[in-house]
Amino acid sequence: MTELQLAIWSFPVLLLLVFLRMPIALAMAAVGFGGSYMIYGTALPVLNSLKNLTYGTFSNYSFSIIPLFLLMGQFATLSGMSASLFRAAESFLGHRRGGVAMSAIGACAGFGAICGSSLATAATMGQVALPELRRYGYPGSLATGALAAGGTLGILIPPSVILVIYAILAEQNIEKLFVAALVPGILAALGYIIAISVWMRVSPNAAMVKDRVPWSERLVALGKVWPVLTIFVVVVGGIYIGVFTPTEAAAVGAAGTGIISIASGQMTWARLRQAILATASASAMIYLIILGAGFYNSFLALSQLPQTAAAWVGNSGLSPWVVLSIVLLMYLLFGCVMDSLSMVLLTVPIIYPIMIVLDFGMSAQDFGLWFGILVLIVVEVGLITPPVGLNLFIINGMAKDTPIRETYKGALPFVITDLVRVVILTAFPAITLWLVWLIDSLG
């Protein structure tokens, strides 16, 4: 078997190990070690890579941003900010048909702006919004589908852990990626609200409508979300105008969120310990996946698969847009069986070198930003598509009386809006890039 054939066969072997419930990090590391051993014919270079690759991966200063953003999200989760966001959104939208579900989407968007994790956003907002959705008679399919979809805003609206990892892998500017993600993130939230509105027009009696809240109460509720607005403006605004590097902004955000939590009286010693342990656990999981992907990608580089694939695509005569469509479709299919982080770590080092040489009529920097946002969106869709839609399982676990098939059914309208958004952003790259261009021109 040639080295190239070995690399090609490694993909089904990896998927088989994942289906057998082996942790994805260990599966990637095992296939990478095994493939490298078969190419070298000896274990010594493979064992030596344990030291060199591990140090080379984690000596990257940019990876320090991950636990800081995760800690910021933990502080926000445990300090009651999620409930304040939901109450504020509900006071403005709750009286509309489907308004409580729309409020959950709005609150998810706001929480995603200080969290950076889809799973944390879904879990936190599910605890806050699900009882209210039940109270007003929302069917289980709509309630769980809306919350699962709203959770995906946690990785799309900046700051985003997945975007940070993409930026490191593709050697892109983290600040500009955050800017580029802002408009698609807002479009995602609007698309989900439209999906709820259409659902309620088709089934107008599906849920009760709340009474209209007086403006005085709306302003009081809005005033309670000032910590979220402050953290978002300081962290993301500081990055945009160049006051902080992304890592510095993450540290300031984590410290600021912690201080606000303590000042509000919500942060006890027990909750502080819980936040630190949860951050350490999630960071360890992410770093282990990064390391496993590093071993596997080293094996693929040794086999020359990325270079061979790039040369084949370049000589195939296929239109760049056809290649892009195939890649996005592949991501959608992979999203049905893999988690988003593993998918990005596994595919970007292979696919990005192929895509960057194609002519899409834009600069390499603009393409890197645009392609990163497209990848993020299709990865996000994988979080709400069966059989491995992690957000679906998180929300369904909270709504134990709702069958999982009903949750799948409820997520379908939101998946459709995501696919429409992918088509629009693919056809019109300027929607993603115009804010980056504007800030560059002002700077």
Q: Does the pLDDT at position 252 exceed 70?
A: yes
Q: Does the pLDDT at position 58 exceed 70?
A: yes
Report helix, strand or coil for 131. helix
Q: Does the pLDDT at position 206 exceed 70?
A: no
Instruction: Please say whether the beta carbons of 164 and 62 come within 8 A.
Output: yes
* pLDDT confidence tier of residue 123, bands split at 50, 70 and 90: confident
Q: Does the pLDDT at position 205 exceed 80?
A: no
Q: Tell me the per-residue pLDDT of 378-427, one tens digit each, with 9 for 90 and over.
A: 988 888 887 767 788 888 888 878 888 888 888 999 999 999 999 999 99
Most confident of 262-266, 309-313, 367-371: 367-371
The terminus-to-terminus CA distance of the chain in angstroms comes to: 54
* pLDDT confidence tier of residue 78, bands split at 50, 70 and 90: confident
Q: Tell me the per-residue pLDDT of 137-155, one tens digit each, with 9 for 90 and over.
A: 888 888 899 999 998 888 8
Instruction: Please say whether the beta carbons of 145 and 55 come within 8 A.
Output: no
Average per-residue pLDDT in the chain?
85
Q: Does the pLDDT at position 157 exceed 90?
A: no
Got the DSSP string for 190-218?
Answer: HHHHHHHHHHHHHSTTSS--PPPPPHHHH
Position 296 scores a pLDDT of: 86
* pLDDT confidence tier of residue 274, bands split at 50, 70 and 90: confident
Q: How far apart are CA 375 and CA 358, in angstroms?
A: 16
Q: Does the pLDDT at position 315 exceed 80?
A: no
Q: How far apart are CA 6 and CA 13, in angstroms?
A: 10
Q: What is the pTM of this model?
A: 0.86
Position 443 scores a pLDDT of: 62
Most confident of 140-149, 211-220, 325-334, 421-430: 421-430
For the ranges 15-19, 111-115, 333-337, the lowest mean pLDDT is seen at 333-337
Position 137 scores a pLDDT of: 85
